[in-house]
Structure 1
Amino acid sequence: MDHLFRQRRISVPKRTSELVALIAVSCTLFLFLHTRDLSTKLRRMEGRLNDDVTAFNHLTDRMPTERTEHAFASAQEYKEALEAIRRHTGAERSKPQRTLEAEPEESQQEEQEYLDELLVPEPWELNNTARAGTEILFFNRVPKVGSQTFMELLRRLSNRNRFGFHRDTVQRVETIRLAPADQQALASIVTSYEPPASYIKHVCYTNFTRMGFPSPIYVNVVRDPVERVISWYYYVRAPWYYVERKRAFPDLPLPDPAWLKKDFETCVLSGDRECRYVEGETHEGIGDHRRQTLFFCGHEPQCTPFNSVEALQRAKRVVEQQYAVVGVLEDMNSTLLALEKYVPRFFKGALNLYWDQLNTFNRINRNAFKPPVSEAVKQIVRANFTREIEFYEFCKQRLHMQLRALRDPTITVPTPRSRRRRAQKNRV
């Protein structure tokens, strides 16, 4: 009897089993649709973050011209383009009013912020300091990015944090790109100092490991490319600049007074050779340091054409793979915070030191002879600095990503969403 009872099957109503099967299929379908939707949104966010060109076009209000590459082969063609740009800047008609896009719902905002947070890497993924082969800081400073201020800051920090401070001597002609033998000599000089030490010089990125030397800790600073060339334009025309140069090199000839009096706006609007910034040029005949990417791309000939795609991509790759921190002059707080967090051996206490002695730092290399430049003229210049601006925006995003990766609630940095909002407001 017990045997028969054990063999007996418990019957389940047919409708109940169908209901269970339906619930199982429904749950599976729901999970599939939800997962697919989330994957699509993640891919969309990743695409937006990685598409630097699209991000740049969204952040800047580029004015249309008949040349998509914004490079002009002749002076006449350049002047024709200037006339077209002037018409678009409001000389003949006013710019159409833009309106802000409707703000998304609160739930969509929270979802977007959550997706943004998922894409933030861990700090170790962005910390190239640990990959250095020696405890020597190499600041291959870009001109006119506040590098004199950072150099003085490093000098004062060297006393507090106990590391050696070294810099290149003032030269009659600053050589940025070096021949292979000179690169070898530079690497030998830098690595000869007793660690921990710092070395500062105006020079392109130099690959130490390729020449058999340990890699230093690379740091640098960038600045808005157009503001930077304007700053350089008036820097080399400042009276005190030539006083300092004559003291160092008494036999230097004085420049033409007409050249000294030429203002930047006239230089641009007249199509002057000095202010044309033609894409693809490898030799501009004057040392105006228009190529900020050159200091990150390297010494190779492929890095010399102005505003080129290859120089841009090389510079981006070097920044990601080699530089501990690339700061942004316009965002000093984020720059000093990142330096403190990612290169603490050298920059511990940098933020407090800078703000405590702000009056001293603000007087360094301040040019009282630099007049304001109109936004219309700046926009004309920006048309030929597309990839230089893209590189600047790339460095800015990387800097903010480094701070976000720390996940420190006391640190406030712009998120991708807040940057998009500011871009929309600026375009109104």
Structure 2
Amino acid sequence: KKKKKKPRGSGGGDPGCPRVSKPSDDLQTSRKSGFFSALPLRASLRGYGFCMAALFLFCFGSLFYQLNGGAPQILQDIRHYLGKKFSLPRALPFPSQVVYNRVGKCGSRTVVILLRLLAEKHQFNLVSSDIHNKTRLTKHEQVDLMKNISKIPQPFLYTRHVHFLNFTRFRINQPVYINIIRDPINRFLSNYFFRRFGDWRGEQNHLIRTPGMKDDERYLDINVCILENYPECSNPRVFYIIPYFCGQHPQCREPGVWALERAKQNVLENYLLVGILEELEDVLLMLERLLPHYFSGVLDIYKSPEYKKVGNLTGTVRKHTPTLEALQVLYHRMRYEYDFYNFIRDQFHLTKKKIGLKSASQPPAYSSAFLRELTLRTPKPLDEDEELESDLEDKWLLWCPS
């Protein structure tokens, strides 16, 4: 019989006895385990430092990007060149759909001139309607207009004198809104004299806009118009700014708290920015910060001598201030308009503060003490029916990037 081999032990002892390690083996093992246990700690500290440095660089770069209105020009030029050479798809910025439902006689022609230049510079589509006196639309007209706006190649900026349109009501994607308003009395005076005498672009301009106006109406003294309650100078005709933000509801055209509060709500929920004309440079700076892919470099254009020559032609001629008595009557008719104007002014200053814009605020056209005095001393005016606006075919002027 073959003898069973004994299992090798630690030196020929009993096979069940454990092997006794040498002191040198224990020391070597402890060194290895210490090295590997320290390795994750070192790696985690190094990775943590790398992540924090990357985060700092990202935040610093993002801040630099926003404060300078976008990427450096050299990177934009390289991207534009590569896009043309290799037909790369263009990444659309956000937002890529902007609607400027401009309020009449609130600097909108000045802004549109700037937008024509910016559209060429930044390669976005500027679409401008030539309808100037149809702000209220039927339900069918609203749907057609919103669908047509949604079909404009993005990025686009659409402008028209039109009351606020609620796209989501008809399950259409809501664009971003922007707008500018001004002191209500100053806006009314500008519109009153512009309809009669035009601006510096030409003496015949006002005759083209109002060919049916008779001389007794054209040269009607504004004090007589206000104090004798002519329809043009009475409610609801002077209830003008709020409906642009209230919307298409019939009650939006009735001077009162309902239209005022709905207009405020729409501003808070749907408008990226509503500025005031009295602080136009700050408005342009804010638009440059908030929409750099549309307005980057707008202040350089606005302050250039070439633009000043064109911009000066949009000023209304023969404009003068009514008497104190007429102003008292007019202010009382516009009390809701002033409530809304003060709300917009406060919101605009709050937005400037959040962004860190420290420009000095301009004083209002009329002091608060003066307006309070007007309120106390002014009788309630009579209401007049609003003149129906003519129905015109909507024609668009499109500035496409070359």
Q: TM-score, normalised by structure 1?
A: 0.59
1:258 to 212, 216, 238: 216
CA offsets per residue over residues 362-419 of structure 1, 9 Å max, x none?
A: 32422222233344432321112111101011111111111100135xx32449xx99
Look up the match of 2:315: 366
Q: How does 1:19-418 map to 2 (within 5 A)?
A: 135-170=96-131, 174-238=133-197, 243-244=204-205, 254-277=212-235, 281=236, 288=237, 290-306=239-255, 308-357=256-305, 358-408=307-357, 411-414=358-361
- AA in 2 matched with 1:412: S
- What SS does the aligned partner of 1:202 have? coil
Unmatched segments (≥5 aa) in structure 1: 1-131, 282-287
Please state how far the C-alpha of 1:253 moved relative to its aligned partner. 5.2
Provide the rounded CA distance (Å) in 2 between the counterparts of 1:233 and 1:405: 37
How far 1:200 sits from its partner (Å)? Answer: 0.7
- Number of the residue aligned with 2:385: none
> Which deviates more from structure 2 when the two are superposed, residues 347-356 or residues 199-208?
347-356
Structure 1 vs Structure 2 CA RMSD? 2.9
Larger deviation, residues 265-274 vs 140-149: 265-274
Return the offset for 1:329.
Answer: 0.7
Partners of 2:203 and 2:311 in 1: CA distance = 21
Question: How many angstroms apart in 1 are the aligned matches of 2:162 and 2:115?
Answer: 18
Whichever residue aligns with residue 221 of structure 2, its letter is: D
| Change beyond 3 A, Cα 1:361–1:389 | farther
Query: For the Cα contact (< 8 Å) 1:219–1:325, is it kept in 2?
Result: yes
Contact 2:238 2:333 survives alignment (8 Å): no
Identity %: 27
| Cα offset, 1:424, TM superposition | 7.0
Amino acid in structure 2 at the alignment position of 1:390: D
CA contact (8 A) 1:141 1:200 kept: yes
Deviation per CA, 1:144-201, whole angstroms, max 9, x where unpaired? Answer: 1011111111111111121111111246xx2111111111111111111111111111
Change (3 A) 1:266 1:356: same
Whether the 8 Å CA contact 2:181–2:274 is kept in 1: the answer is yes
In structure 2, how many angstroms separate the alpha carbons of the residues matched to 1:338 and 1:207?
25
Query: When the two structures are superposed, what TM-score results if normalisation uses the length of structure 2?
Result: 0.62
SS at match of 2:315: coil
Q: Which stretch of structure 1 is more off in the superposition, 377-386 or 321-330?
A: 377-386
Structure 1 contact 225–389 (Cα < 8 Å) conserved: yes
Cross-structure match for 1:93:
none
Q: Give the 3 Å change call, closer, same or farther, for CA 363–310 of structure 1 in structure 2.
A: same
Distance 1:354 1:395, change over 3 A: same
Contact 1:400–1:413 (8 Å) recurs in 2:
no
SS in 2 for 1:383: helix
**In 1, Cα distance between equivalents of 2:215 and 2:371:** 39
AA aligned to 1:160 is K
- What SS is found at the alignment partner of 1:331? helix
CA contact (8 A) 2:165 2:247 kept: yes
CA distances 1:198-246 after superposition (whole Å, capped 9, x unpaired): 1111101101122122111211110111111111111111167994476
Query: Distance in 1 between the 2:257 and 2:217 partners?
Result: 32
**Bigger shift: 178-187 or 361-370?**
361-370
Contact 1:176 1:203 (C-alpha < 8 Å) held by counterparts: yes
Which protein has the larger Cα radius of gyration, Structure 1 or Structure 2?
2
Letter in 2 for 1:297: C
Relative distance call for 1:320 and 1:367 in structure 2 (3 A) is same
Cα shift readout 1:222-281 (whole Å, capped 9, x = no counterpart)? 011111111111111116799447668xxx85322111110211222333343233xxx5
DSSP 3-state at the match of 1:380: helix
Q: Distance in 1 between matches of 2:370 and 2:136?
A: 41
Check the 8 A contact 1:140/1:204 in 2, yes or no: yes
Moved more, 178-187 or 333-342: 333-342
Residue 10 of structure 2 corresponds to none
